[in-house]
Amino acid sequence: MTPDRSRRRDARENAEKLRSAALEAFLADGLGAPLEAIARAAGVKVGTLYNHFGNREGLIDAVVPEVLARRLLEVTDTARSQETARDRLDTFVRLMIDLLEREPALSDALLRRYPEAGALSDVCERNAAIARTLVHDAHRSGSLAESCSAEDVLALIWLAAAASRATPTNPGWRRVIDRAMASAWTAPDEPARSATGRAR
C-alpha cells in the first residue's frame, strides 16, 4: 500500500525483506510467529524490524490484510455467484470454514487476537458485514430460520476459527459445525427456488 517514503535504499530493501519474511511466517504459522525468526529470515536484527513497524501489530497490519482480503474476496465472489439466497449463504459459510482450516492467520484475525491491527480488523469487519447481508437475504427468502441470527452465523464462523487454532486440533469439530448450520435451514432439503415454496 504505502510504497515507502524513506530515502535510503537499504532501508527500503530491508523493509521489503521483512515484509516478505513476515508474510511467509504469518501465513505458515499464524500471527503469533516469532518476530525474532522473521528478522533472522530477513537477514536483519529485531531492532530493525521494530524500527520499521513499531510492533507485532504494525507488522501484521503492513502485510496480512491485503492477502487475507484477497482470499476473502474469492470466497464472497463465489458465494455471491450462487443462484439462491440460501446457496449464497451456504456457500459462503462452507468456503469460509474451508479457508479457516487452511489459513491459521485468518483464524487468528477473526479471533481478534491482535486487536491493535486496525487494517486487519477492518477486513474482518467488512467480511462480517457481507455475512450479515447474506443472512438477511436468506431470512427474507425464507430459507433460513429466523431463530438463526446473523450473530449466530458469525459465532459459528468464529467457533470454526477457535477450533482450527486449538492445540492439538480435533478433526471431529467440522461435523459438529456442519450440523449446527444444517439445522438452521427451514426447508429440509433443497433451497426454496424464489417463492415456489412448499415452505413452512
Contact residues for DNA (CB under 7 A)? Answer: 6-11, 14, 32, 34-37, 44-48, 50-52, 54-56
Looking at beta carbons only, is 78 or 121 nearer to DNA? 121
Q: Output the smallest distance, CB 5 to DNA, in A.
A: 8
Q: Output the smallest distance, CB 107 to DNA, in A.
A: 17
Q: Output the smallest distance, CB 32 to DNA, in A.
A: 7
C-beta neighbour count of 189 within 10 angstroms: 5
CA–CA gap between residue 158 and residue 128 (Å, rounded): 11
SS3 185: strand
Looking at beta carbons only, is 50 or 173 nearer to its own copies? 173
Residues 53-84 as b/e (b if ≥16 CB within 10 A, e otherwise) read beebbbbbbbbbbebbbebbeebbeebeebeb
139 binding partner (options DNA, its own copies, none; Cβ < 5 to 8 Å by kind): none
Q: Output the smallest distance, CB 110 to DNA, in A.
A: 20
Q: Output the smallest distance, CB 45 to DNA, in A.
A: 4
166 binding partner (options its own copies, DNA, none; Cβ < 5 to 8 Å by kind): its own copies
SS3 23: helix
141 binding partner (options DNA, its own copies, none; Cβ < 5 to 8 Å by kind): none
Residues that bind its own copies (CB under 8 A): 111-113, 148, 151-152, 154-156, 158-159, 161-163, 165-168, 170, 172-173, 175-177, 179-180, 182-184
The residue among 78, 30, 85 whose CA lies nearest residue 197 is: 85
182 binding partner (options DNA, its own copies, none; Cβ < 5 to 8 Å by kind): its own copies
Query: In sequence order, what are the residues at sequence separation of 6 or more whose Cβ sits closer than 8 angstroms to the Cβ of residue 160?
Result: 96, 97, 100, 101, 107, 173, 174, 177
The distance in angstroms from the start CA to the end CA of the chain is: 50
